[in-house]
């Protein structure tokens, strides 16, 4: 029997086929799971429906295991409530919920954190942090006992990563939210965890200068390399599966060990050799 055979759940936040959420969803469906998906709402004047089209290219590969693909604006509680009601009608009870949603204005990402605008800060926190609270709350009637919620975080919420700026503050808040939601959902046997992935080439990663970070991770991480989409996909699927039933409130680092380092490690040896 496959790991997700008979399991059903919701995946929020796929942007395209480079999304970490897609790597996790693909792993789930390869192991027999059924998923319902969201996509960013398209503008009324966008005749090509580009947001929907990008996600469709992914999920159309698994037609028998895709329950739905519907737009969702997580800044509108009415939409979140309606989306979860629709999900319940199409899926019934669910076993997992993947939240892979974050956003900050590009201008705020590119300026020093101290210059972040008030409206930009509110926007980033609303989309990147509060949305997890909102979707978990409205999904509560749908969860089976033993269900799992997973969100995506990053090391920039634990330590200062220059260039990550206001999004680092959002991830710090998200990390705390994971713990408090884990406490709240524990009595109904629902777990809440997060995956902290190393830098990968995603739509969000490009905005944060992922290219330079990947090279740096390769020099500093104990494994001497960065991670792959497939590795993060398997780890995320693990946290959403029954194999992780005893784990909640945790942040699983999938970064080739980068987060354990207190110095540049072998990169320092290379620098000395070149001196």
The residues annotated with a catalytic role in the active site are 154, 164
**Residues in a beta bridge with 182:** none
């Amino acid at each position: 029997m496959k790991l997700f055979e008979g399991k059903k759940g919701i995946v929020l936040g796929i942007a395209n086929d480079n999304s970490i959420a897609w790597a996790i969803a693909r792993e789930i469906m390869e192991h027999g799971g059924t998923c319902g998906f969201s996509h960013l709402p398209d503008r009324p004047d966008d005749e090509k429906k580009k947001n929907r089209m990008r996600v469709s290219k992914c999920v159309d590969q698994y037609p028998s295991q895709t329950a739905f693909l519907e737009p969702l604006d997580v800044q509108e509680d009415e939409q979140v409530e309606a989306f979860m009601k629709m999900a319940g009608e199409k899926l019934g009870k669910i076993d997992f919920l993947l939240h892979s949603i974050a956003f900050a204005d590009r201008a705020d990402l590119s300026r020093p954190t101290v210059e972040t605008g008030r409206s930009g800060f509110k926007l980033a926190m609303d989309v990147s942090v509060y949305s997890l609270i909102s979707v978990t709350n409205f999904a509560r009637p749908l969860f089976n006992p033993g269900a799992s919620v997973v969100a995506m975080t990053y090391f920039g919420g634990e330590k200062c990563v220059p260039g990550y700026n206001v999004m680092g503050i959002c991830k710090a808040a998200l990390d705390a939210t994971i713990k408090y939601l884990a406490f709240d959902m524990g009595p109904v046997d629902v777990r809440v965890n997060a995956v902290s992935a190393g830098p990968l080439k995603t739509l969000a990663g490009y905005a944060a200068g992922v290219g330079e970070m990947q090279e740096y991770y390769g020099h500093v991480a104990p494994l001497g390399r960065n991670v792959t989409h497939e590795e993060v996909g398997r780890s995320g699927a693990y946290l959403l599966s029954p194999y992780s039933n005893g784990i909640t409130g945790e942040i699983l680092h999938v970064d080739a060990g980068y987060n354990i380092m207190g110095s540049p490690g072998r990169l320092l040896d290379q620098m000395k050799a070149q001196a």
